[in-house]
């Protein structure tokens, strides 16, 4: 009788454990769906907030640079101050040095993946996908791309991409190509 009771208790415990696992898996699945939705909505909201912040900064910068005395007084800007907004010419010696060092490393047996645009400094997954949509899928195509087209791609993507300088990408791509040819 004692064995029968122990056997029944053991079966009940296994049944409850199995049910607990099934309920936990179902709840986990529901939480994954909720998390995926919140991530999608969250990234969209973050992009909108960044765009709004950049638009606000650009507007204030334009007002300050055009001489609005009230704005200058509010944010305490020297009247002689002129804003130099990033854009046309940005030279970054540290990036050049890193690219040259990377190219020197490729002269041995290691090579750079010419289809991975993210090896170029400043090109992340988002910009790589935008370039791919435009038909630029290799470092060689990036080196040969028209600078105006690259700027149009960034402008189309929104204000938070205006800080990027595609001229540097082209220079880096050309350096990589030279390293591959040597």
* Residue partners of 127: CB distance under 8 A and separation at least 6: 117, 154, 157, 161, 164
Quick check: 134 pLDDT over 80? yes
What is the Cα–Cα distance from 34 to 177, expressed in whole angstroms? 45
Quick check: 98 pLDDT over 60? no
If pLDDT is split at 50, 70 and 90, which confidence band does 181 have?
low
Q: What integer is the mean pLDDT of 39-65? A: 75
If pLDDT is split at 50, 70 and 90, which confidence band does 39 have?
confident
CA count, 13 A, side-chain hemisphere, 109: 0
What is the Cα–Cα distance from 71 to 57, expressed in whole angstroms? 13
Residue with the larger pLDDT of the pair 68 and 35: 35
If pLDDT is split at 50, 70 and 90, which confidence band does 49 have?
confident
Q: What integer is the mean pLDDT of 15-40? A: 80
Quick check: 5 pLDDT over 60? yes
Tokens of 31: 């939480």
The confidence score (pLDDT) of residue 68 equals 58
pLDDT digits 0-9 by tens, 146-160: 999 999 988 888 888
If pLDDT is split at 50, 70 and 90, which confidence band does 13 have?
confident
């Amino acid at each position: 009788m004692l064995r029968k009771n122990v056997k029944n208790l053991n079966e009940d415990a296994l049944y409850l454990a199995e049910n607990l696992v099934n309920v936990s898996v179902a709840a986990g699945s529901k939480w994954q769906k909720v998390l995926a939705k919140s991530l999608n909505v969250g990234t969209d909201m973050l992009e909108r907030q960044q765009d709004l912040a950049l638009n606000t900064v650009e507007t204030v910068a334009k007002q300050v640079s055009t001489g609005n005395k009230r704005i200058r007084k509010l944010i305490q800007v020297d009247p002689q101050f002129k804003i130099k907004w990033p854009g046309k010419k940005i030279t970054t010696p540290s990036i050049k040095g890193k690219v040259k060092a990377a190219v020197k490393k490729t002269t041995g047996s290691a090579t750079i993946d010419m289809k991975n645009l993210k090896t170029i400094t400043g090109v992340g997954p988002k910009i790589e996908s935008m370039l791919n949509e435009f038909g630029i899928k290799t470092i060689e195509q990036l080196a040969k791309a028209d600078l105006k087209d690259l700027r149009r791609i960034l402008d189309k993507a929104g204000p938070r991409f205006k800080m990027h300088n595609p001229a540097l990408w082209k220079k880096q791509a050309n350096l990589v190509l030279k390293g591959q040819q040597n």
